[in-house]
Amino acid sequence: MAAVFDLDLETEEGSEGEGEPELSPADACPLAELRAAGLEPVGHYEEVELTESSVNPGPERIGPHCFELLRVLGKGNYGKVFQVRKVQGSNLGKIYAMKVLRKAKIVRNAKDTAHTRAERNILESVKHPFIVELAYAFQTGGKLYLILECLSGGELFTHLEREGIFLEDTACFYLSEITLALGHLHSQGIIYRDLKPENIMLSSQGHIKLTDFGLCKESIHEGAVTHTFCGTIEYMAPEILVRSGHNRAVDWWSLGALMYDMLTGSPPFTAENRKKTMDKIIRGKLELPPYLTPDARDLVKKFLKRNPNQRIGGGPGDAADVQRHPFFRHVNWDDLLARRVDPPFRPSLQSEEDVSQFDSHFTKQTPVDSPDDTTLSESANQAFLGFTYVAPSVLDSIKEAFSFQPKLRSPRRLNSSPRTPVSPLKFSPFEGFRPSPGPQELVEPPLPPLLPPPPPPPPSSTAPLPIRPPSGTKKSKRGRGRPGR
């Protein structure tokens, strides 16, 4: 890595500019002076030309060979997540989470291609203390690799499942940090759209980090709306369900549903199937337990206003309106943002490599990244154009030592209502990733696809009649806790 030196050159007689004669090129270079006299220096020497490439060679070349596999943290249909240690280049010895995805499986499904692209692009552009950080992204012929903070504190879902409900002070802390994260996303024109305990991780210090940005929507600024049907039913705002057009106000509804979940043990509107749950969200009565304090009751009611224009945070003030609510009156927002407030729960970790907060079903497995022998067609590879990325901060240092755990899609089942994530399908699976900007980087224009995207499967027969989700959506069957995956 290049370094910059500010040298104060002085001689015994005085500093530069005090009568010193101007040096000739020969005087300035002893080697040149010797050669001018017909002499060659004796002994070993090395001549180095100072150029841009030799002084500042640029970002390191990252690949699978730069990381040592330590543990398996999770496994899905499209690949694995490993705990890894960096063994080459900068940040030597640092622990990360490495998400490995198989290209061939991703490109078969439009929504998974969109999920991967959105997560990669947003994590590159968004930097915030309460949002997981992307350190590196690279690809091989058949795989994609995302290197992220290793969040060793586990899912907020796990802790909520263990405790049953949170005290209001505990809930206030987590809701405050989430409010700052959502406010930052909204300031960048991004709506999150999938806020729930499974997508909120804890760092080693106990602070929250939002993860999984596959359902985010970009370029939604003041006055703009979008109509994609997506999210997790129990936390979805009514304007998404009725498809009247939605904006960033949907995140404040989801935060209200999450607040209710933290304080009561379940989301506010649940039923035995998806259709009845959706009906309750659209027209059901909000029931509040009597033990909630007046401030908590008032905030939940204001979050769960069905008219987004009347919902707290739904106006131009966005997160600032939420922060001013009396429920947060004891929060010092500057200290909170600087992580100077002690979290209510700090994971008990023995070392940077501690995986005790992860599912032992995975951590006991032997970590093996299977050989990459898949070759995609040129048109299919266009979906991953520009995927490679090296975070600028990684070349110097990253603030925290570890902080990401992959989302485990096995949410709590409450009142016999399985949570059903619904993903959007409105995109081209062959749209490339935005390449990282670089001074000498050549960005190839996307090529027209040679193969059409795969047709979606027929609609599920279990989809509700009044509101039909997009074709290709599958109804998840989930049980309490962590069923077999």
Rounded Cα distance, 306 and 279, in Å: 13
Rounded Cα distance, 252 and 195, in Å: 9
Tell me if residue 194 is catalytic: yes
Token output for 318: 């966005």
Tally of structural domains, the chain: 1
In a domain, 332, yes or no: no
Q: What is the pLDDT averaged over residues 443-451?
A: 39
In a domain, 402, yes or no: yes
In a domain, 162, yes or no: no
211 band by pLDDT with thresholds 50, 70 and 90: confident
7 band by pLDDT with thresholds 50, 70 and 90: very low
In a domain, 20, yes or no: no
Report the alpha-carbon angle 341-343-345, nearest 5.
165
In a domain, 379, yes or no: yes
Rounded Cα distance, 77 and 87, in Å: 28
What is the dihedral sign for C-alpha 351, 336, 161, 150? negative
Catalytic-labelled residue, pool 6, 169, 194, 279: 194
pLDDT in tens, 26-63: 444 555 555 666 666 555 555 555 544 444 445 678 89
Tallying the residues shown for the chain, one arrives at: 485
In a domain, 389, yes or no: yes
99 annotated as belonging to a binding site for a ligand: yes
Question: Percent of the chain beyond pLDDT 70?
Answer: 66
Token output for 195: 């806020």
In a domain, 122, yes or no: yes
| Selection from 336, 415, 484, 411 nearest residue 156 by Cα | 411
* Contact of 195 with 235, CB cutoff 8 Å: yes
Q: Output the pTM of the full model.
A: 0.69
| Selection from 129, 170, 176, 128 nearest residue 332 by Cα | 176
Report the alpha-carbon angle 159-484-351, nearest 5.
45
In a domain, 89, yes or no: yes
Token output for 300: 């939940």
Rounded Cα distance, 17 and 8, in Å: 12
Residue 53, CA distances (Å) to 1, 2, 440 in order: 11, 10, 12
Of the given ranges (12-21, 214-223, 344-353), which has the lowest mean pLDDT? 12-21
Residue 482 CA to chain centroid, in angstroms? 23
Mean pLDDT of all residues in the chain? 75
Rounded Cα distance, 96 and 107, in Å: 26
200 forms bridges with which residues in the sheet? 210
Q: Which stretch, 110-124, 143-157, 319-333, has highest mean pLDDT?
A: 319-333
Query: Burial code of 120-151, b = ≥16 C-beta within 10 A, e = fewer?
Result: bbbbbebebbbbbbbbbbbbeebbbbbbbbbb
Q: What is the pLDDT averaged over residues 314-323?
A: 95
231 band by pLDDT with thresholds 50, 70 and 90: confident
Please compute Rg for the chain using Cα positions: 27
Tell me whether strands 208-210 and 231-232 are parallel, antiparallel or unpaired: unpaired
CATH number of 371's domain: 3.30.200.20
Task: List the domain range (segments joined by +) for residue 116.
Answer: 64-152+350-409
DSSP symbols for 175-210: HHHHHHHHHHHHHTT-B----SGGGEEE-TTS-EEE
